[in-house]
Chains A and B, each alone.
Chain A
Amino acid sequence: MVEWFTAVQVVVALLAGLLCLVVGFVGRPPNDLTLGAIVLIELLLLAQLVVTIVAPLVGNGPTGSLGEFYIYLVSALLLPIAGAFWALIERTRWSTVVLGVVGLAIAVMLYRMGQIWFVQGTP
């Protein structure tokens, strides 16, 4: 994991989640803006996956458990897909709220991933 990239990712996921919550509570069904925000989260997660596969090979390993880290990362990768799938089959404002919940959950999971990578193993 790269610290600044992870920080950017947490902020993006947080903002995207809040955006979707607001747009959802205003009453809009999922649109290009909210779905685009979720796609952006997913693309950043895929980039993070590549980074975390390469990083240990070049000497930037996690301080904590790599297994626990990947449970979080794989779960996080699945959430936007599930949320977007739902947004496409039921086009009501609650699907937009669901996208927001997904975004916030991913922000929390990324924060935990950062803890596992940078903090967990250090005394």
Chain B
Amino acid sequence: MSEKPTAPAASRSTGGSGPVAAGSATTGSATTGSATTGSATTGSAASETSTPQKSGRRMTGVGRVLVVVYGILALAATGRSVYQIMDHFQVAPVAFTLSAFSAVIYIVATIALIAPGRTWYRVAWTTISIELAGVLIIGTLSTFAPAAIGMAAIDPFGDDSTVWSAYGAGYLFIPLVLPVLGMLWLAKHRPVASSSSTAAEA
């Protein structure tokens, strides 16, 4: 971020005003607004490659909301796992190790969503895929076979639950929904260098 302070600032101001103007012109709901900004960035990538939007920042506009929700979940997972491991690790070592693992995944995913470039884009895909797999596998195990991961009960608010227990029921099912939203976001906002090349091929 500190390497090239002028380029992101320029892309933020111009890139920010473009989609916002498009969104307020349609005055649609939040979903149509984000759809127009999404199509605007991918659609204009071919025609307006000279605009500063090519810096590849995926997290302007509604993407920032996604990042904030990811950040809060990373905070929640970290806080919970730190407490679990420090306070009563021996109660359910497998579940708490998973808890710490999920915390790390959420932290890396949050950073990967913010950081520009193709490598981080791949990291984002990887971590978000792990999240989806984690919430489905751990959700299923914790619901139907809690003993398999060393848990005493199914209670999603219980002492030995993780962010992924019971499909994230203890976190309003946000851990279940968030990877899907993240994938949709990533699919729409691939790094501009690769999207313009695919547009040229098509």
Contact A83 B83 (CB under 8 A): no
In the complex, what residues of A have CB within 8 A of residue B69's CB?
A: 101
Closest chain B residue, CB of each to CB of A105: B72
A41 in the interface (beta carbon within 8 A): no
Q: Within the assembled complex, what's the spacing in Å between the Cα atoms of A101 and B20?
A: 20
Closest chain A residue, CB of each to CB of B16: A92
A118 in the interface (beta carbon within 8 A): no
In the complex, what residues of B have CB within 8 A of residue A59's CB?
A: none
In the complex, what residues of A have CB within 8 A of residue B12's CB?
A: 90
Contact B61 A67 (CB under 8 A): no
Q: Within the assembled complex, what's the spacing in Å between the Cα atoms of A7 and B69?
A: 24
Interface residues of A (CB under 8 A from B): 25, 27, 65, 67-68, 71-72, 75, 78-79, 82-83, 86, 90, 92-95, 97-98, 101-102, 105, 108, 115
B43 in the interface (beta carbon within 8 A): no
Of A68, A72, A98, A108, the residue contacting B65 (CB under 8 A) is: A98
Interface residue SS majority, chain B: helix
Interface residues of B in 24-68 (CB under 8 A from A): 24, 27, 29-30, 61-62, 64-65, 68
17 contacts between A and B (CB under 8 A): A65-B83, A65-B87, A67-B87, A68-B87, A71-B82, A90-B64, A92-B20, A92-B61, A94-B61, A94-B62, A94-B65, A95-B64, A101-B68, A102-B68, A102-B72, A105-B72, A115-B157
In the complex, what residues of A have CB within 8 A of residue B23's CB?
A: 27
Task: Give, as a whole number of angstroms, the nearest-CB distance from B171 to chain A.
Answer: 8
Given A90-B16, A92-B16, A93-B20, answer yes or no on A75-B68 (Cβ-Cβ < 8 Å).
no
Q: Within the assembled complex, what's the spacing in Å between the Cα atoms of A71 and B86?
A: 12
Give the size of the chain B interface in residues (CB under 8 angstroms): 26
Interface residues of B in 59-102 (CB under 8 A from A): 61-62, 64-65, 68-69, 71-72, 75-76, 79-80, 82-83, 86-87
Contact A71 B30 (CB under 8 A): no
Contact B64 A71 (CB under 8 A): no
In the complex, what residues of A have CB within 8 A of residue B71's CB?
A: 82
Contact B20 A98 (CB under 8 A): no
Known: A75-B76, A90-B64, A98-B65. 8 other contacts (CB 8 A): A27-B27, A71-B82, A82-B71, A83-B68, A90-B16, A92-B20, A92-B61, A95-B64
In the complex, what residues of B have CB within 8 A of residue A71's CB?
A: 79-80, 82-83
Contact B172 A108 (CB under 8 A): yes
Q: Within the assembled complex, what's the spacing in Å between the Cα atoms of A65 and B91?
A: 15
Given A94-B61, A101-B69, answer yes or no on A67-B83 (Cβ-Cβ < 8 Å).
yes
Task: Give, as a whole number of angstroms, the nearest-CB distance from B115 to chain A.
Answer: 17
Closest chain A residue, CB of each to CB of B17: A92
Q: Within the assembled complex, what's the spacing in Å between the Cα atoms of A82 and B157?
A: 27
In the complex, what residues of B have CB within 8 A of residue A79's CB?
A: 72, 75
Q: Within the assembled complex, what's the spacing in Å between the Cα atoms of A72 and B72?
A: 12
Q: Within the assembled complex, what's the spacing in Å between the Cα atoms of A118 and B152?
A: 23
Q: Within the assembled complex, what's the spacing in Å between the Cα atoms of A95 and B65?
A: 8
Given A25-B29, A27-B23, A27-B24, answer yes or no on A98-B83 (Cβ-Cβ < 8 Å).
no
